[in-house]
Amino acid sequence: MDAKTVKASTNLQYNRSNHIKVRPLSKSTVVLRITLFVLAVLTVVSFATIDYQSIDLLNGIWKTLENFRTLFLQPELHHFSFSGGLYAVLITMGLAFLTTLFGAVIALFFGLLSAENLSNRRVSNCIKSVVAFIRAVPTVLWVLIFAVSAGLGSVAAVIGMTFHSAGYLIKAYSESFEEIDHGVIEALRASGAKWGQIVVQAVLPSTLTYLVSWTFMRFELNFSVAVAMGAAAGAGGIGYDMFMASSFYFDLNEIGAITYYILAFAVLLEVAAIRFKSGLKGN
């Protein structure tokens, strides 16, 4: 076929498909658009008909901006020292590390059992069903559930956060294990390797980078959750200090200082995670 024939064929195909095909609206799309339209109308109506009474909206906005200025531009510690703030953050960090460590150890075992290429299908489906239920319940609810038996405090926070961390990591680990080439596992089985040997020689070395990435991600999540649990469950740490500064003392300057503590440690966690993962990839 010469160049002219190819060009003519291309132009013919272009002319035939020169119009834009519009898909007909499905029922789900129509319902979604109607729902969004109704929500938008209700939002506008609520703002237009709300009874502001004696509230000055512009003055409220100005006061909010002043509060933000106090929070972020005038941070001060009044009820504990700089070293006390560091100690409180370290307590929160220790809570996050402990729950991540416990959750990772539990998740490694059950993640291997829930991977379809390493376990029985019935066992895998059973574990995945239970894990889906665990992940569906928020961490704070698990902490409050265990607080019924253990009481509010660090014990209930550790158990509840570990419970949810294990459910999160079991799913992440099992999906990482299922990404392994099935031929490698079959070759080891054909050579007479046992289940433990397959895990040690093929599964863990191939997925180590993914396991570390998921674990660090959960560690960062647990740090933020530990801050909230310090306030909600009385687990101590910087979260409890923030709760006291906001609810008991209403000290905006101290809330701003505590926010900078949390932000600084969150950035350090992210930098450490990136360097650690890049070191693993380099090796």
Local confidence band at 6 (pLDDT 50, 70, 90 cut-offs): very low
The reply to whether 20 falls in a domain is: no
User: What is the residue-averaged pLDDT of the chain?
Assistant: 82
pTM, whole model, 2 decimals? 0.73
Residue 23 is predicted with a pLDDT of: 66
State residue 104's pLDDT score: 94
Cβ(74)–Cβ(254) below 8 Å:
no
| pLDDT of 276 strictly over 60 | yes
In a domain, 50, yes or no: no
Output the pLDDT for position 126: 92
Residue 170: pLDDT band with limits 50, 70, 90: very high
Counting beta carbons within 10 angstroms of the beta carbon of residue 97, is it exposed (0 to 12), middle (13 to 18) or buried (19 or more)? middle
Residue 52 CB coordination number (10 Å):
8
| Domain membership flag for residue 245 | yes
Distance CA 180, CA 172 (A): 14
CATH number, domain with residue 241: 1.10.3720.10
* Residue 119 domain boundaries: 82-282
Residue 18 covered by a domain: no
Residue 217 inside a domain? The answer is yes
Give the separation between CA 109 and CA 115, rounded to whole angstroms. Answer: 10
Is residue 261 in a domain? yes
- Rounded Cα distance between 140 and 165, Å, is 12
User: Which tokens belong to 237?
Assistant: 């740490």
Q: What is the mean pLDDT of residues 222-231?
A: 85
Q: How far apart are CA 65 and CA 60, in angstroms?
A: 9
pLDDT at residue number 12? 46
DSSP symbols for the chain: --HHHHHHHHHHHHHHT-SPPPPPPPHHHHHHHHHHHHHHHHHHHHHHH---TT--HHHHHHHHHHHHHHHHHS---SSS-HHHHHHHHHHHHHHHHHHHHHHHHHHHHHHHHH-TTTS-HHHHHHHHHHHHHHHHS-HHHHHHHHHHHH-TTHHHHHHHHHHHHHHHHHHHHHHHHHTS-HHHHHHHHHTT--HHHHIIIIIHHHHHHHHHHHHHHHHHHHHHHHHHHHHHS---SHHHHHHIIIIIS--HHHHHHHHHHHHHHHHHHHHHHHHHHHHHHH-
Residue 67 lies in a domain: no
Assigned domain for 23 exists: no
Q: How many distinct structural domains can be found in the chain?
A: 1
State mean pLDDT over 99-122.
90
Question: Residue 271: its pLDDT value, please?
Answer: 86
Mean pLDDT of the region 23-42: 84
Which among 232, 230, 216 is positioned nearest to 261, based on CA atoms? 230
